Amino acid sequence: MIVPVHINYRDLEEICYYDEWEKGVVCDDYNAEHEVDVDDVEFDYIDLEEVIDRYLNDVIKILLSDKRYREKLLSVLKNQKNKVAQK
């Protein structure tokens, strides 16, 4: 799953310092939550499979509880059944 995240440099300044021994910048762990819009997330097919595996029951409930989703689901299932019957 690919999610672009912008981290403000001030946040990094608070957790990073120059280490004389290492001769470089060392940073502590960065822990924060970032709100992400669905449009900003790109799913691979494998990611979608993992989401479905994890949330299958919830997805089914949503599909069946909303008339628009239910009608679309039933239409797709009917078309799939017709394709199988034609073979």
**Domain enclosing residue 44, as ranges:** 9-86
Q: What is the pLDDT of residue 39?
A: 84
How far apart are the C-alpha atoms of 54 and 47, rounded to whole Å?
11
How far apart are the C-alpha atoms of 41 and 38, rounded to whole Å?
5
Closest CA to 10 of 24, 30, 26: 30
Mean pLDDT of 16-25: 89
* Residue 1 in domain: no
13-28 b/e (C-beta count within 10 Å ≥ 16 → b): eeeeeeeeeeeeeeee
* Residue 32 in domain: yes
Alpha carbon distances (Å) from 40 to 35, 51, 72: 10, 17, 25
* Residue 49 in domain: yes
What is the pTM assigned to this prediction? 0.53
| Total count of domains within the chain | 1
* Residue 54 in domain: yes
pLDDT digits 0-9 by tens, 34-84: 787 888 788 889 989 999 999 999 999 999 999 999 999 999 999 998 888
* Residue 19 in domain: yes
Q: What is the pLDDT of residue 1?
A: 65
